[in-house]
Amino acid sequence: MRPGKSRCMERSAHMALALDAAREAAQRGEVPVGAVVVSPEGRVLAVRGNETRATHDPSAHAEVQAIRAACAMLGQERLPGASLYVTLEPCAACAGVIAAARIARLYYGASDPKSGGTEHGARVFSHPQAHHTPEIYAGIAEREAEALLRAFFQVRRG
């Protein structure tokens, strides 16, 4: 198998885990976003969905929860070399935590013009105050991530 192909399959598998976490979040009544932290060696360290409602914590977005879980497991406050997969473009708060954790690669699904802080709005990584910018790959499994969010909000608004 060519290295390029292998890496692509790995990415799909990790984003599939994030999508599963997003579906589980929806079942709990949380906004369906999921995130996965992967070690530099390719080991899955944490899989989490949004938990703001269950935990009464406005910071408990999927990517923050996954980063906190991975940091707690490793006993360190940074994750150099790690990858983060998340089904939706991170907001400003999450982008700030991604920078603080020194995540090396950020893969995300759907764009979020309404609340995003990565390619929209605050564009957190485009300012020197972020101190760290991951490599960013957008549009991974975008349609599945969008469909999940659309279905969730259609039911709520219906």
Q: Contact residues for its own copies (CB under 8 A)?
A: 52-53, 55-59, 64, 67-68, 71-72, 74-78, 91-97, 99-101, 114-117, 120-124, 127-131
- Closest distance of CB 24 from its own copies, Å: 19
- Asked about 63 being catalytic, the answer comes back as yes
Selecting among 30, 51, 63, 89, the annotated active-site residue is: 63
Is residue 86 within 8 Å of 98, Cβ to Cβ?
Answer: no
- Closest distance of CB 78 from its own copies, Å: 7
Annotated binding-site members for Zn(2+): 61, 91, 94
Please name every residue paired with 88 in a beta bridge, in sequence order, or none if there are none: 110
* Cα Rg of the chain (Å, integer): 15
Tokens 């700030």 — which residue?
96
- Closest distance of CB 53 from its own copies, Å: 6
Tokens 């790959």 — which residue?
137
Closest to its own copies by CB, 2 or 114: 114
How far is the C-alpha of 35 from the C-alpha of 131, rounded, in Å?
22
> Torsion angle of alpha carbons 112, 102, 125, 105, nearest 10°?
-60
Q: Which two tokens stand for residue 75?
A: 């006993």
Residues known to be catalytic: 63
